[in-house]
Amino acid sequence: AHARRPRDPSAPPAGSPPGSSRPGAKRLPQAIVVGVKKGGTRAVLEFIRVHPDVRALGTEPHFFDRNYDRGLEWYRSLMPRTLDSQITVEKTPSYFVTKEAPRRIFNMSRDTKLIVVVRNPVTRAISDYTQTLSKKPDIPTFEGLSFRNRSLGLVDTSWNAIRIGMYAVHLESWLQYFPLSQIHFVSGEKLITDPAGEMGKVQDFLGIKRVITDKHFYFNKTKGFPCLKKSESSGLPRCLGKSKGRTHVQIDPEVIEQLRDFYRPYNIKFYETVGQDFRWE
């Protein structure tokens, strides 16, 4: 037996051909959850990493939006080690709305599989606002930020919480580089009502066996979310963190109606483009 030498955690073991090393090698991700913020991306990541053929980075690396100048080797060094049979996945929901992200990911690998978790844009915006409010209690009201002119019904599309939900607009940039067949859309709503069904489709898309099924989930009534029955490590049920399932701020129904009207044409365009009706109308 060889004497064990300390190993640089970011380097593959010396003298071994790429991909053959026993503890596995760090590889650039073959699949990325690129969006959207407050859509259910953390749930998708936590659910998919239960699969034995998937290894996922737990934190958001923000490589293709904020850290691109650090280079691909830096990005690779963050990844978990995988065996040849395993897929590396990372999630950074802001990629979907980052102008340069499609080109940059394409330049890394044109075969990258992209997962986008979408959700009713109005509820998504309220969820986004609720999150910001919990960090900055002094911000203006949701109504105040949503409109440039409320009485004219002019929505402020420069506010990020509104802009992110214009899915059809952002999708255009991705379709300049990737075919639709390489982008999988997860319904944030169905992820709650039928997690096994939605995760079944994700597994099919990734080309891995349907291992994650009904048996893995139970519905936690307090959180209003499905949770995993047990995690690999602790054998205890695993729910998403405290910050998930926050009670949304109450918004004037008329404001919601105006935003619904605003998003309707974008939603319809999005449904037509992806060939999938998410029933947000």
* Residues involved in catalysis: 38
246 known ligand binder: yes
**Non-local CB neighbours of 116 within 8 Å, separated by 6+ positions:** 33, 34, 35, 36, 39, 96, 183, 184, 185, 186
247 known ligand binder: yes
Closest CA to 258 of 149, 166, 141, 161: 149
Q: What are phi and psi of 191, to 5 degrees?
A: -60, -30
99 known ligand binder: no
The two three-digit tokens of residue 265, written as one number: 């044409």
62 known ligand binder: no
130 known ligand binder: no
Q: Which amino acid is at 34?
A: V
163 known ligand binder: no
Q: Distance (Å, rounded) from C-alpha 27 to C-alpha 7?
A: 17
260 known ligand binder: no
165 known ligand binder: no
46, HSE (Cβ side, Cα atoms, 13 Å): 21
DSSP-based three-state secondary structure for 18: coil
119 known ligand binder: yes
173 known ligand binder: no
Q: Which amino acid is at 201?
A: K
Q: Distance (Å, rounded) from C-alpha 209 to C-alpha 152?
A: 52
Q: Distance (Å, rounded) from C-alpha 28 to C-alpha 154?
A: 43
39 known ligand binder: yes
37 known ligand binder: no
Residue positions forming the annotated binding site: 38-42, 119, 127, 244-248
Residue positions forming the annotated binding site for 3'-phosphoadenylyl sulfate: 38-42, 119, 127, 244-248
